[in-house]
Amino acid sequence: MADVEIFKHDILIVGTGLAGLSAAVEAAQRGKDVATVSITQAYRSHSSAAQGGINAALANVAEDDSAERHGFDTTKGSDYLADQKAVLAMTEQAIPRILELDKLGIPFSRTEDGKIAQRPFGGAGYPRTCYSTDKTGAVIMMGLYEQCLYHEVPMYEDRIVLSIGEKENKIKGVVAINLITGKLEIFQASAVIFAVGGAGRVFKDTTNSWHNSGFGFVLPYFKGVPLKDMEFVQFHPTGLATNAVLLSEAARGEGGYLRNKDGERFMKNYAADKMELAPRDIVARSIQTEINEGRGCGPDGDYVELDLTHLPAEQILSRLPQVRELAIRFAGTDLIEEPAPIRPSTHYTMGGISVNDKTESEMTGLYAAGECSCISVHGANRLGGNSLLECCVFGKISGVSTSEFVEANKVDDDALEVLQKEADEVEANIQNLFNGEGSEDGFKLMAEMQKVLSKNLGVFRNKEGITKAQETIKDLKERYKKIKVKYTGRIYNWELARLYMLGGQLHLAEVIVEGALKREEFRGSHCRTDFMKRNDKKFMKHTMAHYDVKNDTCKISYSKVDLSIWEPEERKY
């Protein structure tokens, strides 16, 4: 029997980004016994890297903006795959949520008359992106973190959740490894919220931190909870060409230009009305097309330029200080004086753990919020500024939902028995990695996975490339059984952690590939060059991936899209 330490809480939140902290604050304010467990310190979560802003139809700049217009822009941007009632619920809650954050002391940038400042973002009909210079995610994170400290929310840091304990489709808690001690720990809970961020690290070139492994997606999946729309992966147009670090959409919102090797603002050829502020999928494809057709910059023609040199230096210094700093640090270019080299980079996961608009999954007591969830409010393409909004709105809603749930559902008597058995299985998996055959290098397998996905499931895709990825992932899953962890110490064993999670990442890659292969159309971020039209008749539906335990693979089915408010139409910008 695995040697474990046991913790008990009514509500456990896995992850401490904006969604997790929003849930924790809400539950704590309601007097619930809530705790968080995370791979890193709360204030270092990947949400803190979100730069540009958070959307809400406050109408501080454009007086005729509204939640309905915000909802329509979001639905159109999603290429009509978003569930429309969920979208409208988000955009309606956006306004009071921003005002609530403002009252908490979040230092939003201001207009001259003292209102929260708003800038234009891609795909939006109005300037509705509230911001704090270009560090919006970080300042909201710190405000919510301070609220958690005020409410004395327990935070179990430097832990990685490795498994879920469930019985008869009801959550019992989770099993985690404590990186500090190297020991397994059991967390009993009546309700568990997954708020583990994105999955960018299954790809090679990504704006995501190493924490966004995607491993948290597959833990509910392995226990019967479906993953929805995982083939829809967003590629941010302006990742630095040197290392994929994000240069915020705020740079284009403030008036930045995109130029090819001839100095041409080429977006006029793709989205003449919106130009650089077209939705991200359109801008990313436009950039990649310029590169593919020989109009890229540099000796290899493998990037275009983000040009801010026409903007006043004071505007860059006051509104884009972090963007400028990142370009200087990682590309050696000062945006006040010269353009920065950029190209599309893997950025955001539109799909995720399937939940409803109350953040409830198909497993009793299991909830999900933020990027790891799929409600769905982003559909086939997310608009910039809606990710922080989703986290803050649905994170809060998950705090409400779980608080109401635990009032009627306490930790079951058999929870410890179920979780102890789960811990024994996890420990057996760890020992298998320590004592494996060792004929395969796990990190080489990881690199192969990332490379094949980036090459074949990037901005442009086709059957030949996706099939190649399918074959490679299948092979990697078999080779994974032959890896061995070389360092067998237990304290801060990152080799063990990374390679343990790799097993789950390979399954997640498989889900992405299978969904992409079967969706034979061009919709949003899913650009099939062999099917260059949106096919509403056949594919106006959500992709649902269930884990097939017997065959150790995924089964694809489909579910309906909520089209109850706006009629689908062709996307034009």
Q: State the pLDDT at residue 499.
A: 97
- Give the span between the Cα atoms of 449 and 13, in whole angstroms: 29
Closest CA to 268 of 249, 281, 288, 282: 282
Given 279, 313, 345, the domain boundary residue is: 345
Q: What tens digit of pLDDT does each residue of 363-375 get? A: 999 999 999 999 9
- Give the span between the Cα atoms of 36 and 336, in whole angstroms: 42
Residue 291 resides in a domain: yes
The residue length of the chain stands at 573
| Other C-beta atoms lying within 10 Å of the C-beta of residue 368 | 30
Distance of CA 457 to the CA centre of its chain: 17
Residue 273 resides in a domain: yes
3-state helix, strand, coil in the chain (%, to 5): 40, 20, 40
Given 282, 312, 345, the domain boundary residue is: 345
Can you say whether residue 330 is alpha, beta or left, with left for phi > 0 and alpha for psi between -120 and 50 degrees? alpha
Domains identified in the chain, total number: 2
Closest CA to 449 of 404, 487, 498: 498
Q: Is the peptide bond before 376 cis (omega within 30 degrees of 0)?
A: yes
Q: State the pLDDT at residue 413.
A: 79
- Give the span between the Cα atoms of 557 and 546, in whole angstroms: 8
User: What backbone phi and psi angles, to 5 degrees, belong to 381?
Assistant: -165, 130
Residue 165 resides in a domain: no
Please tell me the pTM assigned to this model. 0.96
Residue 301 resides in a domain: yes
User: Among all chains, which residue has been given the structure tokens 């989770």?
Assistant: 174
SS (H, E, C) 364-399: ECEEECCCCEECCCCCCCCCCCHHHHHHHHHHHHHH
Residue 59 resides in a domain: no
Check which CATH number belongs to the domain holding 332 and give it.
3.90.700.10
| Cβ-contact 227, 559 below 8 angstroms | no
Q: State the pLDDT at residue 463.
A: 98
Given 345, 364, 394, the domain boundary residue is: 345
User: Among all chains, which residue has been given the structure tokens 């909830």?
Assistant: 367
| Residues forming a β-bridge with 461 | 528
Q: State the pLDDT at residue 43.
A: 67
Residue 444 resides in a domain: yes
Per-residue pLDDT tens digits of the chain, which is 573 residues long: 778 999 999 999 999 999 999 999 999 999 999 999 998 876 678 887 888 899 999 999 988 999 999 999 999 999 999 999 999 999 999 999 999 999 999 999 999 999 999 999 989 999 999 999 989 999 999 999 999 999 999 999 999 999 999 999 999 999 999 999 999 999 999 999 999 999 999 999 999 988 899 999 999 999 999 999 999 999 999 999 999 999 999 999 999 999 999 999 999 999 999 999 999 999 999 999 999 999 999 999 999 999 999 999 999 999 999 999 999 999 999 999 999 999 999 999 999 999 999 999 999 999 999 999 999 999 999 999 999 999 999 999 999 999 999 999 887 779 999 999 999 999 999 999 999 888 999 999 999 999 999 999 999 999 999 999 999 999 999 999 999 999 999 999 999 999 999 999 999 999 999 999 999 999 999 999 999 999 999 999 999 999 999 999 999 999 999 999 999 999 989
Residue 446 resides in a domain: yes
Sheet with 118-119: strands ordered across: 54-55, 129-130, 118-119
Q: State the pLDDT at residue 437.
A: 84
User: Among all chains, which residue has been given the structure tokens 């999954």?
Assistant: 361
Range(s) of the domain holding residue 250: 237-345
- Give the span between the Cα atoms of 221 and 90, in whole angstroms: 25
**Annotated catalytic sites, by residue?**
280
Check which CATH number belongs to the domain holding 452 and give it.
1.20.58.100
User: Among all chains, which residue has been given the structure tokens 């474990």?
Assistant: 4
SS (H, E, C) 223-268: CCCCEECCCCEEEEEEEECCCCCECCCHHHHCCCEEECCCCCCHHH
Q: State the pLDDT at residue 54.
A: 97
| Cβ-contact 478, 472 below 8 angstroms | no
Q: How buried is residue 408: exposed, middle or buried, by Cβ count under 10 Å (0-12/13-18/19+)? A: exposed
